[in-house]
A and B are shown apart, each in its own frame.
Chain A
Amino acid sequence: EVQLVESGGGLIQPGGSLRLSCAASGFSVSSSYMSWVRQAPGKGLEWVSIMYSDGSTYYANSVKARFTISRDNSKNTLHLQMNSLRAEDTALYYCATSQEGPYFFDYWGQGTLVTVSS
């Protein structure tokens, strides 16, 4: 059974850094397409970043040069390093996987909440 469990969220001051993790089970993150999608409180969904099985990465313009997606194959875990955080980064961050190509998100975690505030 595919399962995704996010962690690492919390309250952080503007300009600070945070690293999110997504522990996967039931499949291998190294052979899948893994994404982060966020949802600001009461708002819609916003795609953040994706890592391909070959290691290629793509980012939303709003986070480019501030966020870095990576994975630890030995721990079957996806990460999102978030630097220079802003108030507008406040959101529930979901980890999602696309099992058959980097297109649609067929499994999602329950999310981890990031609050950027002084």
Chain B
Amino acid sequence: DIQMTQSPSSVSASVGDRVTIACRASQDIDNWLAWYQQKSGKAPKLLIYAASRLEGGAPSRFSGSGSGTDFTLTITSLQPEDFATYYCQQASSFPRTFGQGTKVEIK
């Protein structure tokens, strides 16, 4: 199974800050990576797919980059509605696996 490791596990930031979350795959997954946002008590929501493609309806302040084993989710100018937990997910092989999550908290 491909293991996905996110860092950090949590980050405290202020509105307007730039936030970067890393995700590392245990083997090469090319660009078969997605990012999801999950707010408390809600279902996850797809933000980024194929490593860098913005899902329709997702704000342009979210961007993704990377290929192979190392990926990054960047939120430029953090907004109040962005405080949530973020997960990466690989789609290179079965079983599909998620990172452990990164909680973005208010500083």
Contacts and interface: CB of A to CB of B under 8 A. Distances in A.
Nearest to B34: A104
Contacts of B100: 44
Contacts of B81: none
Interface in B15-54: 32, 34, 36, 38, 42-46, 49-50
Chain B interface size, as a band, is 20 to 34
A3 to B, nearest CB: 12
B47 to A, nearest CB: 10
B43 A110 contact: yes
A106 B34 CA distance: 10
Interface of B: 1, 32, 34, 36, 38, 42-46, 49-50, 55, 87, 89, 91, 94-101
Given A61-B1, A103-B49, A106-B46, A47 B101 contact: no
Given A45-B87, A61-B1, A104 B46 contact: yes
Chain A interface size, as a band, is 20 to 34
Contact of B98 (A46, A103, A106, A110): A46
Contact of A104 (B1, B89, B94): B89
A50 B93 CA distance: 12
A33 B55 CA distance: 18
B95 A94 contact: no
A87 interface: no
A111 B43 CA distance: 7
Name the 3 nearest CB pairs between A and B, nearest first.
A103-B91, A108-B43, A47-B96
A45 B98 contact: yes
B10 to A, nearest CB: 13
B49 A104 contact: yes
B98 A47 contact: yes
A14 interface: no
